[in-house]
Amino acid sequence: MVQGTDGNFYGTTFSGGAQNNGTVFKVTAKGALTTLYSFDGSDGSGAYSGLIQGSNGAFYGTTEVGGAQGNGTVFKITNKGELTTIHSFDNADGYAPAGLIQGTGGNLYGTTQGGGIAFGTVFQMTTKGALATLHSFDDNDGSDPQSAPLQATNGIFYGTTFFAGPGGYGTVFSLSMGLGPFVKTLPTTGKVGEKVIILGNDLTGATNVTFNGSSASFTVASDTEITATVPTGATTGTVKVTTPTRALESSMTFQVKP
């Protein structure tokens, strides 16, 4: 599941629901569940990879099969349950998508377990559904990626394939899209006075940390980690770390709790 900015949790089920093709649901922290949407097959089936919340506030996910060509879909859904299929795979651009992430450039990235040349793909997609196949696996470099890639704080994407590669037992791959480095906060929400861990690269020598413009006290723990305190006057926005070589911004908005 993913926690939305409204505090509720959102997730998917592989099957069940009104048509037994899976659902999107919302659940409060106390366990009150609402089924937001039931798939009917024509709009997808088998949503097993969960959801992400995009920077625009909408949620995005994938279905393994179903859609216009039966090869799976990418969909957008609001917290009210309004669903839009933004892409249906046709095998040439992949089939059986396996989850999504949103990169620092704002685009969505994911993998398909098959299709493309034959053995699965890595793709980029705008939040409106325009797809570009970035790589088609050829068995020598891997086959059947079964999860979305992740973006490391150096800006590069990393992922795995389930099969193939030189030894036949799967691969770990990297993919550069030319996106710059950034920092990531753990957690992504906090109150004034709370400690927050900031992860990144080349953080040694950092001279300033701000929470949406408010300077924070901090300690550099290592080249990849800073511990900072949410400062008085901080408001929801990006976290910025200034180093001797560059200014790094957080990949996600940091939510300052009241």
Please give the tally of structural domains in the chain. 2
Please state the rounded mean pLDDT for residues 15-23: 97
Does the pTM of the predicted model rise above 0.95?
A: no
Please state the rounded mean pLDDT for residues 91-114: 96
Among 141, 175, 209, residue at a domain's last position: 175
What amino acid is encoded at 77 in this protein? I
Please state the rounded mean pLDDT for residues 154-160: 97
Same domain, 46 and 87: yes
Same domain, 196 and 159: no
Same domain, 23 and 106: yes
Coil, strand or helix at 255: strand
Same domain, 36 and 147: yes
Same domain, 211 and 84: no
Among 150, 175, 200, residue at a domain's last position: 175
Residue 65 forms beta bridges with which residues?
Answer: 45
pLDDT 10s digits, 23-75? 999 999 999 999 999 999 999 999 999 999 998 999 999 999 999 999 999 99
pLDDT of residue 5 exceeding 90:
no
| CATH number of the domain that residue 161 is part of | 2.130.10.10
Residue 102 forms beta bridges with which residues?
Answer: 108
pLDDT of residue 14 exceeding 90:
yes
Same domain, 230 and 202: yes
Residue by residue, DSSP assigns 162-173 as SBBSTTSB-EEE
pLDDT at 194: 97
Q: Domain of 155?
A: 2-175
Residue 83's nearest CA partner among 22, 9, 7 is 22
pLDDT of residue 84 exceeding 90:
yes
